[in-house]
Structure 1
Amino acid sequence: MSKPSLITQDLTIRFGGHVAVNAVSCDFRPGELTVIVGPNGAGKTTYFNLISGQLRATSGRVLKDGTDLTKMAPSTRAHHGVGRAFQLTNLFPELSVLENIRLAVQARSGDGWRIFRSARSLTELTARAERYLEATKLQGVAHQAASELSHGDQRKLEVALLMAMEPDIYMFDEPTAGMSLDHAPDVLELIAEIKHDTSKTVLLVEHKMDVVRALADRIIVLHNGTLLADGNPEEVMSSQLVKDVYLGKGVEPA
């Protein structure tokens, strides 16, 4: 079994007297897609925010390949390879889709925001951006302003920008939310392709059970901010405790 690429140790956050995430400890490994599920208010997105840095933990730690990220800003965590789709959405809304992706490629290359660059450098950046454009099936809107995209294409642009940053950890929070039946399969196919890269770790918050069954190697269940279950999809989904939680029976973790 590969070494964990991402670890949360007793990760906790309190808002006043409310404990939104309560001492959650999990290891995540390369080549594994983990889906985080739970009823509304379970703490799923809050847990994601703690990992990616949008929220600062009250206690506990987030480790990436042995590096403590707990006190780092989201941008610094991204530099360390933790990528979350919404962080890059519509980087420049009035620029074209291709230009947005090219800027993400440029940022990843360490080329900064230099105004003056060689024509060869610009051509190379554009060629790399076009590969992500093709991978996400956005060629038809390449020269359209990002702000003018349909919701489905905006979600695909999120994935393209995230891919362009080449993270080790991919984080998707309900990636098909609000998408039409026509667009959703494209995004799910992209996530499935990322999953097949055994050097990448994928975390997914999702409530659609058909998506969970199609993609998950592992499921963790949060309930009232506490880790309730963790295991392979068949075991977790057949657990009576998990079923009771989804039926609203007020079950407390053992």
Structure 2
Amino acid sequence: MAGTEPTPALSTRDLTIRFGGHVAVNAVTADFYPGTLTVIVGPNGAGKTTYFNLVSGQLAATSGRVLLRGEDITRAGPARRTRLGIGRAFQLTNLFPHLTVAENVRLAVQSRAGIGMRMLSLWSGHREVIARADHYLERVALAPRRGSYVGTLSHGDQRKLEVAILLALEPDVLMFDEPTAGMSVDEVPVVLDLIHQVKAERKRTVLLVEHKMDVVRALADRIVVLHNGTLVADGQPAEVMRSKIVQEAYLGSPETV
């Protein structure tokens, strides 16, 4: 039907979590659509990462709902949410330091392909798996380190490897929590260019927690602002950044925004 609103790829409805008497995320309702990159900002302690944890299933909501393509997944665990199409970079916690760079990405490709867990020594027979893994390593400029053990990588290279693993899972919804944190100036452009490429495809839904305003300006189609766990602003970047309350309380003074 003409004029019908598109179905959100991801939605939260009154999503709330309490830790004792503290409300960390307070009744957040938002829709996220395919082809849109939304940056979530706010001061330290605003609830940004906690909100991510609720969406990806790392935390169970006290109340409210999480919907994926209209399906209620509130009670689904993180593994099921990954299978359903939510991919999140977990700030290094999902890397296997005693495996090589290539082996880490191959595990993700295997999982996505549904091949099942096989001995690493048998992977040589899965040329397509190896080729796909190499493709993602090239995208993050890690092909020269494919044989290195993850534990020997710099922090920046480990963050790039995380992005490669996330892309290899081919999720419909990609979630990045400060993807350039801890990276050197030289390493940042590789990851930002990758996110630009994903955005340019206009196929996936991207959520990004970020505090660097130059990154926000470069990437955001939309900005959501959280404060004390509550959604206080949601809209086009220019509109949100012009808001006096956002400039003063969340994004810095007008001169720095």
Indicate whether the TM-score tops 0.5. yes
> Which residue of the other structure, out of 57, 62, 67, is the alignment partner of 2:71?
67
Aligned partner of 2:233 in structure 1 is 229
Aligned CA RMSD, in angstroms, stands at 2.0
TM (norm. structure 1) is: 0.93
Task: Classify 1:219/1:122 alpha carbon distance in 2 versus 1 (closer, same or farther; 3 Å).
Answer: same
> Which residue of the other structure, out of 53, 56, 61, is the alignment partner of 1:57?
61
Task: Classify 1:110/1:230 alpha carbon distance in 2 versus 1 (closer, same or farther; 3 Å).
Answer: same
Gaps in structure 2 of 5+ consecutive residues:
253-257
3-state SS of paired residue (1:196): helix
TM (norm. structure 2) is: 0.92
> Which residue of the other structure, out of 217, 233, 250, is the alignment partner of 1:246?
250
What is the correspondence of 1:95-134 to structure 2 with a 5 Å cutoff? 95-115=99-119, 121-134=125-138
Number of aligned positions between the proteins = 249
Aligned sequence identity (%): 65
Question: Any runs of at least 4 consecutive aligned residues in structure 1 with deviations exceeding 6 A, and if so which?
Answer: 116-120
Query: What is the one-letter code of the residue matched to 2:86?
Result: V
Shift of 1:120: 7.7
Query: What is the one-letter code of the residue matched to 1:220?
Result: V
Q: Deviations over 1:170-208 (max 9, x none)?
A: 000000111100001111111111112222000000000
Aligned partner of 1:185 in structure 2 is 189
3-state SS of paired residue (1:186): helix
Gaps in structure 1 of 5+ consecutive residues:
249-254
Aligned partner of 1:19 in structure 2 is 23
3-state SS of paired residue (1:86): coil
Task: Classify 1:26/1:65 alpha carbon distance in 2 versus 1 (closer, same or farther; 3 Å).
Answer: same
> Which residue of the other structure, out of 37, 41, 49, is the alignment partner of 1:37?
41
Query: What is the one-letter code of the residue matched to 1:108?
Result: R
Shift of 1:117: 9.4
Shift of 1:247: 7.7
1:161 aligns with 2:165: yes
Q: Equivalents in 2 of 1:116, 1:150: separation in Å?
A: 24
Aligned partner of 1:251 in structure 2 is none
